[in-house]
């Protein structure tokens, strides 16, 4: 089945109505969006997913619990992912609700945190704070809530105040969130995708769906790579996203009904 944008208006209307029917029948859908690496399109794809939900008449919220790489503004640190997610959600959210933990430097967050603490500033990243922020967003009762990770699946958060090593994946595990895996299609992505999927499943979570994000349209044997991943990943391909000027330009590539099968 082609997951590219429906060829006729009729089929896209059918798609919308089936999305609407399916997701409307269930309670909140919360997903953790991870990727095969940093810069593979987690934010771009998340915004496209949110736009597809809006077309299906669904309310949405988004969460970027930990960010690194921010502009320093009068209102405080501002991360472009978090701003994009805030903008792409149709539930009114404050910046701090979307992104409670932000570091200025575009480096691994645990290193940015350690650097601040070495200067006597900041505090260890606590999973509790991430969980609290998530609970507050869940209370908004949006139909769909997307949580974007940072980097890849096993993102270190550093030690908590009790000296225990933490990872952002621990949060997803704690909340039993189904995972959406964004695969940046480029040579080498098959290994990264399979290793990430293995880690997610060994952590006890379910991959609700995966997205082929076509970062390099000129990738040799692109279709065959996607077909290999369809064969090797035990999860539905919910979108094949081409390079596009904006996430909303590819919202019709998303097959929400496939995602909906993961509803609780
Ligand atoms: N399908 C696409 N078409 C056009 N541009 C894209 C596409 N996917 C990603 N990009 C661009 O590639 C860059 C990286 O994408 P994005 O920021 O979504 O990655 P990420 O995985 O969220 O990164 P991070 O780990 O920093 O959160 C961005 O400039 C984004 O706009
Ligand atoms: C700064 C970058 N854009 C991301 N926000 C953070 C990426 C952390 C990667 C950690 C690692 O090396 O796995
Ligand atoms: Mg991002």
* Residue 179 assigned ligand-binding role: no
**Helix/strand/coil for 156:** strand
Cα–Cα distance for residue pair 218/46, rounded to 1 Å = 23
* Residue 81 assigned ligand-binding role: yes
* Residue 122 assigned ligand-binding role: no
Residue 64 domain-assigned (yes or no):
yes
CATH number for the domain spanning 178: value is 3.40.50.300
259 pLDDT band (50/70/90 cuts)?
confident
Residue 205 domain-assigned (yes or no):
yes
Please give the mean pLDDT across all residues of the chain: 92
Residue 2 domain-assigned (yes or no):
no
Cα–Cα distance for residue pair 173/90, rounded to 1 Å = 26
Question: What pLDDT score was predicted for residue 33?
Answer: 98
Residue 25 domain-assigned (yes or no):
yes
Instruction: Summarize the confidence of residues 175-198 as an average pLDDT.
Output: 98
Count of CB atoms within 10 A of residue 140's CB?
Answer: 16
Does 39 sit in the ligand 1 pocket, CB within 6 Å? yes
Phi first, then psi: give them for residue 7, nearest 5 degrees. -75, -30
Instruction: Summarize the confidence of residues 152-180 as an average pLDDT.
Output: 97
Instruction: Summarize the confidence of residues 175-182 as an average pLDDT.
Output: 98
56-103 pLDDT per residue, tens: 999 999 999 999 999 999 999 999 999 999 999 999 999 999 999 999
Cα–Cα distance for residue pair 76/70, rounded to 1 Å = 9
Question: What pLDDT score was predicted for residue 258?
Answer: 82
Q: What pTM, to 2 d.p., does this model score? A: 0.91
* Ligand 2: residue whose CA is nearest its atom 10: 108
What ipTM did this prediction achieve?
0.99
Cα–Cα distance for residue pair 264/75, rounded to 1 Å = 38
Residue 135 domain-assigned (yes or no):
yes
27 pLDDT band (50/70/90 cuts)?
confident
* Of 23-37, 98-112, 214-228, the least confident: 23-37
Residue 12 domain-assigned (yes or no):
yes
Cα–Cα distance for residue pair 80/71, rounded to 1 Å = 8
205-237 pLDDT per residue, tens: 999 999 999 999 999 999 999 999 999 999 999
Total of domains in the chain: 1
* Ligand 1: residue whose CA is nearest its atom 16: 41
Question: What pLDDT score was predicted for residue 12?
Answer: 62
Find the 17 Cα to ligand 3 centroid distance in Å. Answer: 29
Q: Which of 252, 224, 232 is nearest to 49 (CA)?
A: 252
Q: Is 119 in the active site?
A: no
Is residue 142 pLDDT above 60, yes or no?
A: yes
Residues 6+ apart with CB under 8 A from 132: none
Residue 52: give the domain boundaries: 8-259
Cβ proximity of 42 and 33 under 8 Å: yes
Distance of CA 140 to the CA centre of its chain: 19
Residue 100 domain-assigned (yes or no):
yes
Residue 3 domain-assigned (yes or no):
no
Find the 101 Cα to ligand 3 centroid distance in Å. Answer: 14
């Amino acid at each position: 089945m082609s997951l590219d944008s429906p060829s006729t208006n009729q089929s896209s209307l059918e798609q919308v109505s089936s999305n609407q029917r399916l997701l409307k029948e269930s309670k909140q859908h919360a997903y953790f969006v991870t990727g095969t690496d940093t810069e593979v399109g987690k934010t771009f794809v998340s915004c496209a997913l949110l736009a597809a939900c809006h077309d299906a008449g669904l309310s949405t919220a988004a969460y970027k619990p930990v960010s690194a790489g921010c502009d320093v503004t009068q209102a405080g640190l501002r991360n472009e992912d978090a701003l994009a997610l805030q903008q792409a959600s149709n539930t009114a959210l404050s910046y701090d609700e979307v992104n409670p933990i932000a570091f200025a430097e575009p480096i691994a967050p645990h290193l940015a945190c350690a650097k601040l603490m070495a200067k006597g500033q900041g505090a260890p990243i606590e999973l509790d704070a991430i969980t609290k922020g998530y609970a507050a967003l869940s209370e908004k009762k949006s139909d769909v809530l997307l949580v974007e990770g940072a980097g890849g699946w096993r993102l270190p958060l550093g030690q908590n105040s009790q000296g225990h090593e933490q990872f952002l994946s621990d949060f997803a595990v704690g909340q039993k969130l189904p995972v959406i895996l964004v695969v940046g299609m480029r040579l080498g992505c098959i290994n990264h995708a399979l290793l990430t999927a293995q880690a997610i499943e060994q952590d006890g979570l379910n991959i609700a769906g995966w997205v082929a994000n076509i970062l390099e349209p000129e990738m040799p044997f692109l279709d065959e790579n996607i077909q290999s991943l369809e064969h090797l990943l035990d999860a539905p391909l919910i979108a094949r996203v081409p390079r596009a000027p904006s996430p909303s330009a590819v919202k019709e590539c998303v097959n929400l009904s496939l995602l909906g099968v993961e509803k609780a």
